[in-house]
Structure 1
Amino acid sequence: MLKGKHEIMLKTSLGDITLVLDADSAPKTVTNFIELAKSGYYDGLTFHRVIPDFMIKGGDPNGNGTGGESIFGVSFEDEINADSYGLHKLKLGDATDEALPEELAEMTQKEYLEKQGYIFNDDLKSLPMEKGYIAMANSGPNTNGSQFFIIQRKAGTPWLEGKHTVFGKVTEGMDVVDAIANTEKGANDMPVEAVTFDVEVK
């Protein structure tokens, strides 16, 4: 597994986005992304779902959010430390205005997510879910493949903390992320004119 920082460039049809991936916070995730990129897996793929004031998502060879795989097989496990987000302290009852049964209200967000199948790793230091960070897209606990998203929302996406592995950050080209997020789109938040990209590993 890789360690340390790794620079990559997403060369998109709307401009270049430079990111630094952090293998110390998510070694398996970064190794998967870098190896897929080196093999050319991502080249020519699209950002198939873009939502302004939220995120841009890509990395699916099917181009519609239904596909993708990892170098470890179909999917691999999350690399998240719930404590990095304070989820071990925050009670469900304090996080919502809804009336919850007492056993749920007293449960921490970490405990609630663990009941849903999420497995956390206290040895990692998870990166924040803030604007400009890149995270793995998934369809539930431990279902990471090749799809990823870049957070475009200014205030970040705190409601996704503990549910997605964050593995790097945009260092240049956030204006390109903004442009992609705000491109004209049709059904299922898919850009009307395809936004394609290649990945270059520095």
Structure 2
Amino acid sequence: MVIFTTNLGDIHIEVDETNAPVSAENFLTYVRDGFYDGVIFHRVIPGFVVQGGGFDTDFNQQKTRAPIKNESANGLENKRGTLSMARTQDPHSATSQFFINLRDNEQLDDMGYRPGYAVFARVVEGMDIVDAIAEVSTGAAGPFGQDVPQETVQIESARIV
């Protein structure tokens, strides 16, 4: 279990080390290293996802470890409250960034012929905090043209319990 303490409240996350061993270990290593302490949720799309894990409050991109293998064919689905690895168009490009699904997003699942976004954890307490993040007004900020919370939403600390 990982607890994100944010400036809006705590989010309790159950990590699935059985079905997503590579993604889970990657995430837990970043947590152990203190990587997420002080990073922000930099992308909020109401009714879709909230994304974080890559930038500080000044929008400086954090130095990450090497990308990991995509595990989207692990049988886990992008359902409301699940956490998935964010990535570029390259399926094997995920590093530290993750998103929390605000609704069931089956279009993000592995389709067999097309890799999806690897689910590796789920919110077990604090989904009301995630929903509160989704309600923050968004716009342009830093290097992003849209979808950035206009009020800073920060992970103050991330710890394994």
User: TM-score over 0.5 for the alignment?
Assistant: yes
| Cα distance in 2 between the residues matched to 1:65 and 1:19 | 25
Of 149, 155, 158, the residue aligned with 1:191 is 149
Which residue number corresponds to residue 51 of structure 2?
57
Correspondences of 1:48-127 after superposition (within 5 Å): 48-61=42-55, 69-70=64-65, 73=66, 75-81=67-73, 125-127=74-76
Of 30, 33, 36, the residue aligned with 2:30 is 36
More helix by share: 1
Stretches of structure 2 lacking an aligned partner (at least 5 in a row) = 111-115, 141-145
TM-score (norm 1): 0.69
Aligned AA for 2:70?
D
Residues 40 and 56, structure 2, Cα contact 8 Å, conserved in 1: no
Q: How far does residue 80 in structure 1 lie from its aligned partner after superposition?
A: 2.3
- SS of the equivalent of 1:135 reads strand
In percent, how many aligned pairs have the same letter? 36
Instruction: Give RMSD over aligned pairs.
Output: 1.6
Q: Aligned residues, how many?
A: 148
TM-score (norm 2): 0.86
Which residue number corresponds to residue 146 of structure 1?
96
Of 125, 130, 133, the residue aligned with 1:172 is 125
Residues 42 and 55, structure 2, Cα contact 8 Å, conserved in 1: no
Of 7, 11, 26, the residue aligned with 2:5 is 11
Which residue number corresponds to residue 143 of structure 2?
none
Q: 1:18 to 1:76 in 2, by over 3 A?
A: same
Q: How far does residue 66 in structure 1 lie from its aligned partner after superposition?
A: 6.2
Q: 1:41 to 1:172 in 2, by over 3 A?
A: same
Q: 1:171 to 1:35 in 2, by over 3 A?
A: same
Structure 1 residue 161 corresponds to structure 2 residue 109: yes
Which residue number corresponds to residue 106 of structure 1?
none
- SS of the equivalent of 2:149 reads coil
Q: Where has structure 1 moved over 4 Å in runs of 4 or more?
A: 62-68
Q: How far does residue 68 in structure 1 lie from its aligned partner after superposition?
A: 5.3
Aligned AA for 2:151?
E
Aligned AA for 1:180?
I
Aligned AA for 2:71?
E
- SS of the equivalent of 1:186 reads strand
Query: Whose radius of gyration is greater, 1 or 2?
Result: 1
Q: 1:68 to 1:178 in 2, by over 3 A?
A: farther
Q: How far does residue 200 in structure 1 lie from its aligned partner after superposition?
A: 1.1
Q: How far does residue 36 in structure 1 lie from its aligned partner after superposition?
A: 0.8
More strand by share: 2
